[in-house]
């Protein structure tokens, strides 16, 4: 796995990224979850800032946010939102002084492919003692509706080694091996959204699942095509399902 995996895909999907991922409502929700865990008097480093949509919501709540990302396509939008506080950088090689960061966040970064060990090496290096790294995983809890079953199977088949898993079971041991303490999950927030099987099938073709899968190329294309067919074969494929999940924040601290 390379540190830059998936970034070309993010360049390609950048123009439609925000709208296809819940837009401002998702970003505001994440900001509401993160804000109580952040000190408003200290700057925040957003690693994998993307289009800056979450960072902008934190900024609106009084935080000063700096953002790093590898995708220039995503960063172009972040630059509009955050101005010159964003830069192109690899989460696995942060251009930041050792021991200089009090608080860092990543939302929906670690499932996209960067090597988890390398990211936590860097986070452990740049945090100052007492500093925190707050992570909102993409995994959350999986919706249990019929779309969720079909899409969950796709995710498992594209990632048989679970390298995209970004929950506490995967990340806590990696962080603790680097001297960080996992303080647990905070700010749990149930969410629900509506999507029909047909809309989900369309999103799959549009690159909904980006990141570093063990299965790529034709193999991945075939699996996605099969999944589309299964989604369209579900009963009432045009009727939206209410999909229930919960997002939470993982808190890592440097003692
Ligand atoms: C799913 S998006 C999430 C963006 C943003 N945090 C949000 O919640 O809207 C993942 C982002 O991580 C970035 N990314 C992936 N690997 C990276 C790496 N090694 N270093 C920096 N950014 C990376 C991608 O370019 C993309 O912008």
Distance from C-alpha of 223 to C-alpha of 205, rounded to nearest angstrom? 11
69 lines ligand 1 (CB under 6 A): yes
In a domain, 213, yes or no: no
In a domain, 57, yes or no: yes
Question: What confidence tens digit (pLDDT) does each residue in 212-227 have?
Answer: 566 777 888 888 899 9
In a domain, 170, yes or no: yes
> Cβ(7)–Cβ(70) under 8 Å?
yes
Q: Report pLDDT for 52.
A: 98
Q: Give the distance from CA 206 to its chain's centroid.
A: 18
In a domain, 11, yes or no: yes
Count of domains for the chain: 1
In a domain, 122, yes or no: yes
Tell me which DSSP letter residue 144 carries.
-
- Average pLDDT of the segment spanning 40-44: 97
Q: Say how many Å lie between the CA of residue 179 and the centre of ligand 1.
A: 24
Which ligand 1 atom is at minimum distance from the Cα of 53? 9
Q: Report pLDDT for 1.
A: 38
On the question of pLDDT at 209 being above 70, the answer is no
In a domain, 240, yes or no: no
Which ligand 1 atom is at minimum distance from the Cα of 210? 1
Which ligand 1 atom is at minimum distance from the Cα of 46? 6
On the question of pLDDT at 190 being above 80, the answer is yes
**Which residue range is the domain that position 105 belongs to?**
7-143+161-191+245-253
Element (H, E) at 184: strand 181-195
- Average pLDDT of the segment spanning 132-143: 85
- Average pLDDT of the segment spanning 158-165: 78
94 lines ligand 1 (CB under 6 A): no
Question: What confidence tens digit (pLDDT) does each residue in 48-106 have?
Answer: 999 999 999 999 999 999 999 999 999 999 999 999 999 999 999 999 999 999 999 99
150 lines ligand 1 (CB under 6 A): no
Q: Which residue from 13, 52, 69 has its CB within 8 A of the most atoms of ligand 1, so it is best to mutate? A: 69
* pLDDT confidence band for 146 (50 / 70 / 90): very high
In a domain, 206, yes or no: no
Q: Report pLDDT for 208.
A: 59
CATH number at residue 123: 3.40.50.150
134 lines ligand 1 (CB under 6 A): no
In a domain, 156, yes or no: no
Close Cβ partners of 165 (under 8 Å, ≥ 6 residues apart) = 111, 139, 159
């Amino acid at each position: 796995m390379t540190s830059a995996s998936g970034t070309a895909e993010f360049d390609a999907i950048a123009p439609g990224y925000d709208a296809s991922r819940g837009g401002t409502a998702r970003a505001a929700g994440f900001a509401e979850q993160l804000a109580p865990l952040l000190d408003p008097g200290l700057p925040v480093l957003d690693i994998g800032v993307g289009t800056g949509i979450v960072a902008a919501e934190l900024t609106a709540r009084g935080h000063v946010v700096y953002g790093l990302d590898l995708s220039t396509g995503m960063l172009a939008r972040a630059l509009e939102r955050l101005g010159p506080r964003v830069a192109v950088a690899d989460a696995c090689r942060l251009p930041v002084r050792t021991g200089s960061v009090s608080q860092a966040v990543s939302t929906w970064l670690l499932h996209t492919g960067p090597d988890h060990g390398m990211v936590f090496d860097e986070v452990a290096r740049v945090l100052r003692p007492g500093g925190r790294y707050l992570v909102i995983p993409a995994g959350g809890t999986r919706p249990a509706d019929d779309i969720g079953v079909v899409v969950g199977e796709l995710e498992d088949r594209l990632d048989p080694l679970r390298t995209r898993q970004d929950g506490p079971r995967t990340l806590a041991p990696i962080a603790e091996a680097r001297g960080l303490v996992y303080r647990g999950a905070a700010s749990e927030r149930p969410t629900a959204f509506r999507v029909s099987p047909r809309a989900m099938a369309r999103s799959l073709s549009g690159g909904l699942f980006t990141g570093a899968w063990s299965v790529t190329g034709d193999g991945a294309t075939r699996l996605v095509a099969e999944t589309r067919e299964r989604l369209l074969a579900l009963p009432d494929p045009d009727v939206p399902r209410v999909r229930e999940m919960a997002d939470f924040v993982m808190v890592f601290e440097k003692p």
